[in-house]
Structure formats: structure tokens, C-alpha cells
Structure 1
Amino acid sequence: MIAPAISVEHLTRHFKVRAGKNGQGWTRWFKKKGYDHFTAVSDLSFSIENGAKVAFIGPNGAGKSTTLKMLCGLLQPSAGAAQVCGYVPWEQTRALASRIGLVFGQRSHLWQALPVRDSFDLLAKIYDLTPGAYKSQRDKLVGVFGLAGLLTQPARTLSLGQRMRCDLAAALLHQPSVLFLDEPTIGLDVTAKALLRDHLNALAREFETTILLTSHDTDDIERICERVILIDHGSKLLDSGLAELRRDYTRFKTLILATEEERPVFQRAGVGVIEQAPHRLVLNVDVSMVALEQVVSECLSSFKLQDISIENMPLEEVIKAIYARQRSSA
């Protein structure tokens, strides 16, 4: 049986924080300082198979970054166990470093004053790569991420999108089995985001790399990942395939109609009008109240249609619905 790339069992992390100032001015120096205990991650368990692309999401303060730091070996848990690539992260940090890659949206692997190629050369030395293995992997990554024209440029001259592509390549030079991505598209424009997502999908196909992504951008999740782990207050709320998540939690469908009628009008219980314009009607269908097929049938009989399309509820709204359901049942 093949071991999973990442295994987490009842992982918990407490922090001790100052309770606040004791007194004012000089008096606080003579009083005992108080502390509170804060639980960032609570009894968290999940498993990720080799080659999987998983979104690890939740609101600010949910415990995502703390979990990633434990899985990278930067923090030791208060309780529980974890393995990444067969290593216990906080006990075998040095050995683990050669098996994982880290990409953070606001941090760089590159030396700003050096050409990108020189940064890659330095990283190859740090990871003790043989010249043949390094050149082979670098050339593959240059092709996958389209970096041929950037290798001679100093890192400080790169655009944000170019830097992120180079950072991804730098994180993959040592051929890690697991790639941790923390907000990799933050600050990128729409075009750069789309290119980066395409590169990540090409990466997964080419190198069979396991990807664990944290992002507040639901487009990142939909375009890159196949599975979602949703946490809140340090605890797991949901672990589901992306398709199953939509199927189980999607309540609304958007129906877009292009009509020959200049002023189309449609009224029905369970159907709201999002937009009404000349020769155009956009409807919001609550499928818990009325079957989508019935609404489509009534539109076909009511209008002369030039075009019709159906869109799913945006993933962001699906996630909001999950949190609302969890809070209402708490």
C-alpha cells in the first residue's frame, strides 16, 4: 500500500498570548503579567494522496497558515501527529526540506540583485544537486513556465507575474514531491493569474507533484484543485471533491436567456430576476423550490430564444452557504 503524501492525525496547536496590560504607567511593572491560551488548530485530521491537488481554505484566522507551518516543520504541534513524504516535519526538518517546495505570495526565493539564472545556480548548490540533474530539471521548468527570456534579468526588474513564475520554478528545482502554495496569485492581474494557473496544472501533469493550496481567490481553487478541505476556528468543517461540493451545496442556478422579444418578462415562485435588458433576461433559480428543467421548459414556451445558457452558483457563494449552514446547526 502506497503511503499518502500528507497524513494529519488530531493535530492541535495552542499559543500563549499576553492577556493585556496590567495597570497603567509604572504600576504594571510591579504586577504579575497574565496570559491567555489561544487554540489555532484543534484536533485536525486529513490525508492527501500522491499527485492530488487540494485547496485548504477558510476565513482569516481559521488556522490555515499555522497548519502549513507545522507541515513544513516551522512549528511543533501541541498534540497530534503528521507525516509529509514519510517524515515527521518538526523532527526531520532537514530531510523534509529536500522533498517539499514552498511558494508564498509575498516572499521570494530569488536574490533581488542577481540574474534569475544565478539564483537558480545558488539554489542548486544549496540543495546539493548534481550538475546533470540540475540542468535537466531547470530546462524542463524553463519550458513549462516560459522563462527563457527572463534568465538573464535581475530579479528586481521582473514584473510580479514574472517573479511568481520564477519563484515557482525555483521552488521546484530540487523536484519536490509536495508543493505548498500560500496565496500564490495575490497581487497578480487577471492575465498573470490565468497564466500561473495554467502553469500549475501543467506542473501537476508533468511532474505528478502533490499540491496543497491556500487561497481566498475562488478562481484559483476552481481552476487548480480537485478537492477542498474547509476549516474554521482550527477545526475541519468539510472535506469533499470539488464536483461533490457543488452538487451537495449548490442551491441556485443562473439561467441566461437571449430572446427575440425586446422586453422579456418572466415571473414564477422560486425564480428571481437578476437582470432585465433589451433582448436579455438573467434569472436566479432556487432549485430547492422549483426544478430547473421546469423553468427551462416554461422559458422555451414563453419566449422565442436565440440563446440559452446555465451557470452554476459561484464557488464563493457555495462556501458562504456552507458556513451559514454550519452556524445555524451549531
Structure 2
Amino acid sequence: MKVLVTGTAGFIGSHVAMRLLDRGDEVVGIDNLNDYYDVGLKQARLDRFRHDPRYTHVHADLADRDAIATVFGQHRPLRVVHLAAQAGVRYAAENPHVYVSSNVTGFLHVLEGCRAHAVEHLVFASTSSVYGANRAMPFSEHASAEHPLTLYAATKKANEQMAHSYAHLYGIPSTGLRFFTVYGPWGRPDMALFLFTRAILAGEPLKVFNHGRHRRSFTYVDDIVEGVIRCLDRPPTADPAWNGMEPDPALSGVAPFRLYNIGNEHPVELLDYIRCLERSLGREAILDMLPLQAGDVPDTEADVSELRRAVGYVPQVSVEEGVGRFVRWYRDYYRA
């Protein structure tokens, strides 16, 4: 089938595109290759599959309404995986307008494309950051997520609500996936594993916030991709048994819409994560212990029982193994 994937030069988007191509699907990819981080890395990700005859690349900005309408009109995808977004929690403090333009306006244009061309399933990326001030662990989709602590998280929460409204009004089956701290080869240079690896190899101190007491559901990228593909193949339906009572935050009942956590159920403390990296690199880190940053959530822990029930999702890659794979890729790519 033909699948439109946004953000195919990105970390997760490039992995999803390759997986779809490997199984025989046709992929139309959108990316504007912005300079938020190294464009050369984005080009290198694309180079892994852009010459596949079943891949078509479109250089476009999601905020460009006419360009996105043209993509949908020309290619008429059967399904859509929306992964493009302005990422980075702290960058929003410097460039808030970019987040709203890309993550909110851009998502509206994707929804409009799905509506105009009767797309049979939209899978879109949300984030565990939407849980914000929620402290009940593990995080559950059935709990409230009404108090995000960063603009990035707020834009993703807005995406969930926008998708639900379109699912209800226009019958567009939509699945939102709340990603939990994804890492692995071809990752983003602004994320902790990248920053820590570079610092250790350079003999520089690591900035360790909250004195390393963060606990995160670190999730290897291949496990994320497996969940995305499984969800893509199972469009949700409205609940015919819904009785008009208060809807559940995860499924609503009135629309073909679902929200799922997707991540590793076994959180790891940041200091243990760093120790895995030290073992893989064969070097000891210099730690600069710092207090909690504004907007940071001290802990995340994913309850993925709903995704397991729905699609049989079970992460396979341990943190020790996943960090080792990243280090091998990093040394090879950067000749480090």
C-alpha cells in the first residue's frame, strides 16, 4: 500500500520509512530538512533509502498549506504516519513560534489532507511529556494529562485533541502514540545519549541534571518502530457500546480514535544509563551534577498494557544491548 510518512529525514521517521519499504510498501516521505541540528545527518539518513524505487521524497514544510494539500492530492496515500515535528523540550523557550507553526498548524494541514482524501488510518506521534505534572506511576493513558509543563508537550497535547475532533467529525481513524525517551542509531544530536557519548570521548564533563536521579523508560528505536507498524495495520473504530457517560481519555467512545503509550515498561535511572554507556565505550565519565531543570519531569514510567492487548506489543531490546548498538553506530559514523 502507499503510506505517507512525515519526517523521513528524522530519527524515528527514517527508521519507519525503511521498515515499510522493507516489507514492500510504497512510501511518500515529507521533510523540510531544517537546520535545528546537523542537516548532514538528516541527509545521511535519507541516503539509506531515497534511491529505492518505491520511495518518493517531497521537500516541503508542514506549515505550507498549499504544499501539503498538493502532496495529498498527487499521491493519495492510503495511510499516514505523522512523525514530523519541531522537537526538543528546551528549544521551545527560544523559538516558541516555530513549535506552533510546525506542530500545530502543520498537523492541521495533515488532518485536512486526511479528511479531503479519505485516508483510512492516521498514526501520529505524541509524547510522554504530555503527562507533565502527573505523578501517578506508571503513566496510564486512562489518567488525565491536562497539565503539560512545556510548550512542546502542550503542542503534542493539542495534536491529540485535534485528531480526536477530526476522528469524530469526519470519521478519520486516528491513533496517537505517546513515545517514551527513544534512543538508538541515527538518533538526534541534542538528546542525552548523543551528548554523553560525545563528551565522554572528548574527556569533557557530562551535565547530569537532577543529580542523575531521573528515571526514564528508555526505549530502543526498533521497538518503537515495531509498535508504530503494528498500530498502522489496525485502524481503531468507535465503541458501539458507548452509553453516553464520561468518555475515557484513551479512547473516547464516540470516535474511531485511540491513544497508546509506547515504551519500555522497565525504567532505568539516569546514572545506570550512563554506566551502560561507560561500559560500551570503555571509558569513565566525568559527571557535573546539577539540579533539576525547569520543565523537566523527574521520572517517566510507561504502562503499555493497552498496546500489548491491542497489537501484542512487547519491547525486545534491553538498555545494555541498545546502548551498545548505538555506540557501535556512533563510532562508525563519526570515525570516533
Bigger Cα Rg: 1
Structure with more of its chain in strand, by fraction: 1
TM-score range, shorter chain: under 0.3
- Normalised to the residue count of structure 1, the TM-score between the two structures is 0.27
Q: Could you say which structure has the higher helix fraction?
A: 2
TM-score (norm 2): 0.26
